[in-house]
Copies of this chain bind each other. A is one copy, B any other.
């Protein structure tokens, strides 16, 4: 079927490629003419403006947005201004699910459907397919199912046929009313933060397993290491990540990627350790707090990212200041 794609970054461009491959007709627009041109070469229909793009669509029109969360609402309203009753806007970005709830209600007045699609799969989605978590009216889901089915992995990664009924095993799911798709994707990312931190903490402990080999200062500001004979291991962290991939309880796709990275860059020299977060982990935590659900692991993972960017600096200075004030302790480092 025909669909328009706005936003041809990493994710948007590959989704277009996958849809073209599956025989769909894609009209594409982006602020960068180069991004448009690249996809036109691969079979997409280019448009040099939002109006032109919408002009090339047949009713009922479907416009898929793949944009940063901070601007999605603004662009969605702009698109809606050009659409007709019966048309549909799909937001496949990492948007806040509350915006989907609000936008859906707002566009309902114009009889424009709003569908929120949480999209997981990253740069690998082109090849493996995208896991899709979908919110919005059931009719919209049904009408767009051929698109979802093609983007999803299906049985073997090459996409599925629409209309199978139980779609979860094919990699796409209608999760509920407007907002449900982004809500589920939000929690997906919250879990993702937790999983990543669990592996990272564990591998960091493996790396420190030789702590008993070094001498420690014997002063009142340094915790002594009792029994250094138990910390004399020199562990090949990358080898361990690889072996764990094979039949261990903690095998996962994130572990596959970690082992692969450690193979080529065992010291992770390409990374500085300042970890970004794009909002979903924060929103997950807010949902946990507001619904009264304990989420100590997910919050620890999020706060670890904040701290990696030194947002704990003032807090740490305060603690040093207290130590100095009561005990005369000066910082060693």
Contacts and interface: CB of A to CB of B under 8 A. Distances in A.
Interface in A96-145: 96-98, 101, 120-125, 128-133
A275 interface: yes
Contacts of A172: 243
6 contacts: A125-B247, A196-B322, A197-B297, A205-B288, A250-B254, A293-B312
A263 to B, nearest CB: 10
A291 B211 contact: yes
A132 to B, nearest CB: 8
B184 A313 contact: no
A252 B230 CA distance: 32
A202 to B, nearest CB: 4
A205 B295 contact: yes
How many copies altogether? Answer: 4
Interface stretch (A27-35, A37-45, A77-85, A216-224): A216-224
A274 B83 CA distance: 53
A222 B281 CA distance: 12
A261 B302 contact: no
Contact of A201 (B124, B245, B295): B295
A187 B233 CA distance: 13
Contacts of A272: 317, 320, 331, 333
Contact of A297 (B201, B232, B286): B201
Interchain residue pairs A-B with the least CB separation, the first 4:
A194-B198, A252-B252, A171-B246, A274-B333
A331 B169 CA distance: 30
